[in-house]
Homo-oligomer: A and B are copies of this chain.
Amino acid sequence: MTDIAVTLADKRGTLPTDDKLGFGKIFTDHMFVMDYASDKGWHDARIIPYGDFNISPAAMVLHYGQAIFEGMKAFRTEDNRVVMYRPVDHLNRFNNSADILSIPQMDVDVVHTALKKLIELDKHWVPKALGTSLYIRPFVISVDPYVGVKVASQYTLFIILSPVGAYYASGFKPVKIKVEDHYVRAVKGGLGEAKTAANYAASLKAGEVAKKDGYTQVLWLDALEQKYIEEVGTMNIFFKIDDEIITPELNGSILNGMTRRSVLAVAKDWGMKATERRISIEEVYEAHANGHLQEVFGSGTAAVISPVGELCWKGKKISINNGAIGETSHKLFDYITSLQQGRVADKFGWVEEVTKL
């Protein structure tokens, strides 16, 4: 097992009040860092004070985007335990992204241990209020100072932590989503399945246009025919039709979302029919026209469940469940958030205790 050297921050910060948290703007006192060199493998695992670092202007990541990341959460329970949600599943997905980007595999045990140590050290940064959490962002970047296209030979892994406020600060509310019929995020044979910078860069323009038109995010269609549903900007998507919940199958161009996996498992556990299959936007519009479309919701680490109240495809708007939150969306949100914050028993083994406060 790799030793982790710890350098403590001179001063400890304080957790802002819940209303000041927002998302992704505030960081804790420490971060975990580990380097890779082709002759040494991953080495020099260390926890150091959070802060800027030095990088070469020729660092490959700035030019060729060889980078991957993860996004997961830790929570403070009512009895002041700090727990993480599916950390090992997230770290395995991290390694899958690494493979797709030709980044060397990490030892999940080492990173998992580091993550626990880091959170233990910064545990007073985990907020307590309902809906708040500690967002965990592990990422790897290529750092060789080399201005030519190739697979890098030097990388740095970071884990940074950010306390985040309740996603639904003003109440659990349905969002409006635009079905994107022009821009494309990812294609079979591309990077769509990886959590990598490239996919998000590809989503910016469409996101901007959608926001101007009053939509929160876009729903991507497949690159080949612009017909089959893929996923939302930072969420997977579910449709409830005739009491069955349906989500696009994993086809290599969408993210294998952790919340998606959780939703499928929970719904099945409840005895619901939960199906992963190819589904076209036409089928969804038809189901709506015939009165069979009951709910639409997104799933992702940030929002957990995000009910969709309106879809707009090529200018045709449909209102889902009259713009109200559906029963299943609500039940899933309540159940998964309760499970994450330790308010219901963890029958799936998804919740791992890190430390107590």
> A330 at the A/B interface (Cβ < 8 Å)?
no
Enumerate chain B residues within 8 angstroms of A102, measured Cβ to Cβ: 204-205, 208
Residues of chain B with a CB closer than 8 A to A196's CB: 65, 201
The 0/1 profile, CB within 8 Å of B marked 1, for residues 56-79 of chain A is 111001111111010000000000
Q: Which residues of chain B are near A100, meaning CB under 8 Å? A: 205
Q: Are B189 and A183 touching (Cβ within 8 A)? A: yes
Asked if residues B65 and A148 are in contact (CB atoms below 8 Å), the reply is no
Closest to A99 in B: B205
Residue in B184, B189, B197, B207 whose CB lies within 8 Å of A151 = B207
| Chain B residues with CB under 8 A of A197 | 61-65, 197-198, 201
Bound Cα distance from A177 to B284, whole angstroms: 44
* A57: B residues at CB distance < 8 A: 31, 50-53, 158, 160
**Does A350 belong to the interface (CB within 8 Å)?**
no
| A106→B190 CA distance, assembly (Å) | 30
Give the docked Cα–Cα distance between A61 and B102 (Å).
19
Q: How far is the CA of A200 from the CA of B56 in the complex (A)?
A: 19
Complex partner residue of A190 from B23, B67, B223, CB under 8 angstroms:
B223
Stretch with Cβ within 8 A of B (4 or more), from A11-19, A139-147, A237-245, A320-328 = A139-147
With an 8 A cutoff between CB atoms, is A21 at the interface?
A: no
A181 nearest CB across to chain B (Å): 9
Copies of the chain in the assembly? 2
Q: In the complex the two chains form, is A162's CB within 8 Å of B137's CB?
A: no
Q: Are B23 and A201 in contact (CB under 8 A)?
A: no
* Beta-carbon contacts under 8 Å, A231-260 to B: 233-234
| Interface hits, A25-53 → B, CB 8 Å | 25, 27, 31, 50-53
A1 at the binding interface (Cβ < 8 Å) = no
CA distance A50 to B57 in the complex (A): 8
Inter-chain CA distance A50–B56, complex, in Å, is 9
Q: Which of B101, B139, B146 contacts A25 (CB 8 A)?
A: B146
Complex contacts, A65 vs chain B, CB 8 Å: 65, 67, 196-198, 200-201
Judge whether A204 and B151 touch: CB under 8 Å. yes
CB-CB contacts of A182-215 with B at 8 A, as 1s and 0s?
1111111111000011111111110110000000
* Interface status of A135 (Cβ within 8 A of chain B): yes
Contact B54 A101 (CB under 8 A): no
- Give complex CA distance A169, B61 in Å: 28
Question: Mask for A134-170, Cβ within 8 A of B = 1, else 0?
Answer: 0101010100011111110000001010100000000
Residues of B within 8 A of A147 (CB): 23-25, 135, 137, 160, 162
19 new A-B contacts, CB < 8 A, other than A64-B200, A65-B65, are A27-B58, A52-B54, A52-B57, A53-B54, A54-B55, A58-B162, A64-B204, A66-B204, A100-B205, A101-B201, A101-B205, A149-B207, A150-B204, A183-B190, A184-B187, A186-B190, A190-B223, A191-B202, A197-B197
CB-CB nearest 5 A-B residue pairs: A65-B197, A198-B198, A184-B189, A24-B147, A65-B201
Instruction: Give me 6 A-to-B residue pairs in the complex whose CB atoms sit less than 8 angstroms apart, sorted by A's number.
Output: A51-B57, A57-B160, A58-B160, A184-B188, A197-B201, A223-B224
